[in-house]
Structure 1
Amino acid sequence: MTVAAAKMEHKESTYSKFTNVMEHDSCINITALICFNAIETWQKQHDINYDKNDPNIKMSQIKESYFAMFKELYRQGDENMKHAKTFFNECLKPSLLETVDNKLGMDIMNNVKSDSGGPTFLSRKHLQLAIHLHLLDEDDFENYYRYINKYADFTKEWIKAQVIKHCQSKHGSQSQMYHLSRAILSNLINVVKTSVDSVTKNITTPTTLLEFADSLGECLLKHTVINTDFIDVVGSLSFEDKESVDQFSEELKSSLDSAEEEMLRGFSDAECAAWLSRLTVQPHIELYKSLAGCEKQCPFCGVPCDRKGSGHELHCAELHYPQGLYGFHESNTKKLACEVCTTDVAGNGSFKSAATNDQYVPFKTYITYYPSWSIQADTSLEATNFWKIVFCKYNETFAKRHELSPADIHNAWKKIEQDTNKMKEDLKTTFALTL
């Protein structure tokens, strides 16, 4: 039954009841008549008001308008989300990763040099002792040969291997590399979020994403530089009101949070070596520069200069190697030489080389031909037991590599006990250090 039919049936029923009353009561009840008329009037007004304000009818009338509004809001939200992600991926993310690269190398170097990295990188002597102990443990001719003849290359590679090992070492469930990069990135993301909030609060609308990005760039100038290569692509977005700016900002901060772990996955153990090689500051190179000397090697024995950096004119070394390890030899016999440089420059011997035009000259006059080297004349200084033992053990191998004849090794050198633990203690005594 319809609403109209129900109303009609109710009206007829009421009228029928009133007629019955009139038939049985000869007195006309004026009050009842007035009430009936009032009810009829009230019902009409009620029906009009109901038809005018029925929720179903009202919803039917405005649903198209609301749907159009919903679609527009959804479109705006979708546009804000899309542009926020594009702006983050193309402009912010590359800047954040570049900033991490710029800072990570120095943080790694400082971390390695701290107690967490052990004493190896506390000083040049600590580094030299650590490398000598490594050479002793490996006891491999190629290592000995490269260290003496390619000192810079060997030392850089060795330091890099130690840095990678340190970065991959676990600190809890994650590596040192992860924790160091996370510390930089998390702090940077917090700075970006704070800057986004500041720009959102102070920017006036209507505005554009390009203007938003410029304001954000000014806030972040001391921390990172926003990549502008793609800003023209995403900068065309317009913000007509404050709500649209707020929505974009929230989407941008959400992108920052969701991408943090994704960016940190690039600093995994497997990618450690690759990251080190592309860092703006490469920690192994900086450690080498600060600790390994100036790379210049003695022209007679190959020992590296003890002095740091490159701001000095004269090179020197406290302890020299047996010269044959570097290929220096007796000219007439082609045998590798066992002497050390400090003894030769104090004696009456002679040498010849390309610097002397292959003419024999007294060792005492070496500085005429090698003016950048200062070698102490002292017959009491000897090679360390470590290098004496190495020379004894690999005499023929060194001779073959240098295409010369083996040295006449001193008998006293051959009697030195080749006990690994004793050799380690001897090295620690030589460098006056412990590791």
Structure 2
Amino acid sequence: MHRHFLSARDPKIQLEKYRPQYLLDFIDLYKKVDHCQRKADAFVTLCIKPAVEEYISRHLGTNIVDKVLSGRHSAEYSSRNFFQYNIQKELLQKEDFQSFVKFICKYEICVKDLIFQHILEEMSEDNTLGKLKSQNLKVIVNKIKDATERASKGEDGVLLPDNKESITELIKNMHRHLTKDISLSEEAEKTALFQIQSTCHPFKESLIRSLSEMNEQLEEEFSKSENITETVNKLPTKPQDELFSQVCGCGQQCPFCEVPCEAGGKEHEKHHAAVHRPKGLGGYRKVDSKKLSETLCTTDVNSERKFRCAATNGEWQPYKEFAKIYPDWLIPPDYTREASDYWKYVLVKYNDGFAQEYNAKPADVPEAWKSITREQALNGLKEAFNIKD
């Protein structure tokens, strides 16, 4: 960043950057050539086009979010519960242990990867990404043309005088009319208009023509296929982050069982979840036996049990006083609550796998859990997220 700051202000580097432009200016000046159109082209290329591209990039992330929310996956994004239900249903059907591990241990990464796949599917169909760019291009080009027409007149509504000095006033007015939409580089502007010999009226007409040519050029560029992943990852507003925030909230996970917080958005005092999971799924084990824990956080905070971890510096801490260590989490003490059949089924099915993953011994799961079928697990999932058939 520091190097970029110095480079942008190094006279030698800047002169070298714009040397071709200055050379053409001096040639025109020497030959006494009318360079009105070339100056307008330079102004559009150096000042307006970068600002237009920045405008498109700035709005594209939000456009993609809207497209996903109204596209083929719209039902999945209709509510937080339905989104979570679909992810976990897919995990159940996929029957891949490592996918469960990723979902539990790297929840945000896992979900954003899935969201990104939805984005790729939506954007790759019928060049949707290019069409979104074109829509933004149309909006901003129309605004620039309108601003140019308005800028060519004074406050009294009368056209600016047709002299060289009025070009400065024209550009100044354009800045004012476009300030809410784009920012034009003053440094590039000085370079583009250096030694301009034209007068205001023909320059304005040349500028309108150059804008139309730029529009056609970008339209052609947007009509071609591109690397969607690269484009999306360069956007200032990451659509996968925005969608994650909408359907997954803050993304924080329970420090014991790794269940994600269910509070909407990022502005809430306490993280909370309606139903917690067996803690062994998050790697918690019993100290004496090294077996994964099958109990729930809500049960443990209502007991005399203790825990220790990196957050307690290895010191034992009563579960009842967990808030001293994790003040941002609300885990209500309730020994009557049970895990959903879904997570009971998952722990039973992959008990050995989780034990190996966490370098522990398999959990002592209740016998009743072992009789839960996949269909019952799915029904438990529906019940947990209040999904009606």
TM-score (norm 2): 0.80
1:186 aligns with 2:142: no
Counterpart of 2:299 in structure 1 is: 343
Letter in 2 for 1:262: E
In the alignment, is the contact (CA less than 8 A) between 2:147 and 2:174 conserved in 1? yes
Counterpart of 1:205 in structure 2 is: 162
Counterpart selection for 2:211 from 253, 257, 275: 253
Per-residue CA deviation, residues 154-177 of structure 1 (Å, 9 max, x unaligned), is 22332233223222234xxxx332
In the alignment, is the contact (CA less than 8 A) between 1:111 and 1:117 conserved in 2? no
Counterpart of 1:220 in structure 2 is: 178
Counterpart of 1:236 in structure 2 is: 194
1:120 match: secondary structure? coil
Counterpart of 1:428 in structure 2 is: 382
Higher mean C-alpha displacement, 319-328 vs 100-109: 100-109
CA deviation after TM superposition for structure 1 residue 395, in Å? 1.4
CA deviation after TM superposition for structure 1 residue 336, in Å? 0.8
Q: Quickly say closer, same or farther: Cα 1:310–1:125, change in 2 above 3 A.
A: same
Q: Supply the distance in 2 between the matched residues of 1:368 and 1:200 (Cα, whole angstroms).
A: 66
1:119 match: secondary structure? coil
CA deviation after TM superposition for structure 1 residue 149, in Å? 1.4
CA deviation after TM superposition for structure 1 residue 374, in Å? 2.2
Q: Supply the distance in 1 between the matched residues of 2:311 and 2:174 (Cα, whole angstroms).
A: 62
Per-residue CA deviation, residues 76-122 of structure 1 (Å, 9 max, x unaligned), is 99723322322221111100010111112222223333466512223
Matches within 5 A, 1:23-422: 79-114=35-70, 117-170=73-126, 175-200=127-152, 202-207=159-164, 209-236=167-194, 238=196, 240-241=198-199, 244-245=202-203, 247-265=205-223, 270-356=226-312, 358=314, 360=316, 362-419=318-375
Per chain length, whose mean CA-contact separation is higher, i.e. which structure has more relative contact order (CA < 8 Å, sep 6+)? 2
Letter in 2 for 1:264: F
Letter in 1 for 2:163: P
1:404 match: secondary structure? coil
Q: Supply the distance in 2 between the matched residues of 1:238 and 1:370 (Cα, whole angstroms).
A: 66
Higher mean C-alpha displacement, 232-241 vs 395-404: 232-241
Larger Rg: 1
Per-residue CA deviation, residues 209-245 of structure 1 (Å, 9 max, x unaligned), is 5544333222322322223332122203545556633
**How many equivalent residue pairs?**
354
1:134 match: secondary structure? helix
Gaps of 5+ in 1: 1-71
Q: Supply the distance in 2 between the matched residues of 1:359 and 1:241 (Cα, whole angstroms).
A: 80
Q: Quickly say closer, same or farther: Cα 1:131–1:247, change in 2 above 3 A.
A: same
2:35 match: secondary structure? helix
Letter in 1 for 2:172: D
TM-score (norm 1): 0.72
Q: Quickly say closer, same or farther: Cα 1:355–1:182, change in 2 above 3 A.
A: closer
In the alignment, is the contact (CA less than 8 A) between 2:37 and 2:207 conserved in 1? no
Counterpart of 1:48 in structure 2 is: none
Counterpart of 2:20 in structure 1 is: none
Percent identity, aligned pairs only, is 28
Q: Supply the distance in 2 between the matched residues of 1:252 and 1:203 (Cα, whole angstroms).
A: 20
Q: Quickly say closer, same or farther: Cα 1:252–1:411, change in 2 above 3 A.
A: same
Q: Quickly say closer, same or farther: Cα 1:269–1:390, change in 2 above 3 A.
A: farther
Q: Supply the distance in 2 between the matched residues of 1:384 and 1:78 (Cα, whole angstroms).
A: 79
Letter in 1 for 2:333: A
Counterpart of 1:13 in structure 2 is: none
Q: Supply the distance in 2 between the matched residues of 1:315 and 1:227 (Cα, whole angstroms).
A: 45
Counterpart of 2:18 in structure 1 is: none
Q: Quickly say closer, same or farther: Cα 1:77–1:411, change in 2 above 3 A.
A: farther
2:275 match: secondary structure? coil
In the alignment, is the contact (CA less than 8 A) between 2:97 and 2:350 conserved in 1? yes
Per-residue CA deviation, residues 290-314 of structure 1 (Å, 9 max, x unaligned), is 3323333222211122223444443
Q: Supply the distance in 1 between the matched residues of 2:296 and 2:336 (Cα, whole angstroms).
A: 10
Q: Supply the distance in 2 between the matched residues of 1:152 and 1:167 (Cα, whole angstroms).
A: 22
In the alignment, is the contact (CA less than 8 A) between 1:336 and 1:406 conserved in 2? yes
Q: Quickly say closer, same or farther: Cα 1:263–1:228, change in 2 above 3 A.
A: farther
Gaps of 5+ in 2: 1-27, 154-158
Per-residue CA deviation, residues 107-166 of structure 1 (Å, 9 max, x unaligned), is 222333346651222332232123212322433222211221122222233223322322
Q: Supply the distance in 2 between the matched residues of 1:76 and 1:219 (Cα, whole angstroms).
A: 33
Letter in 1 for 2:164: T
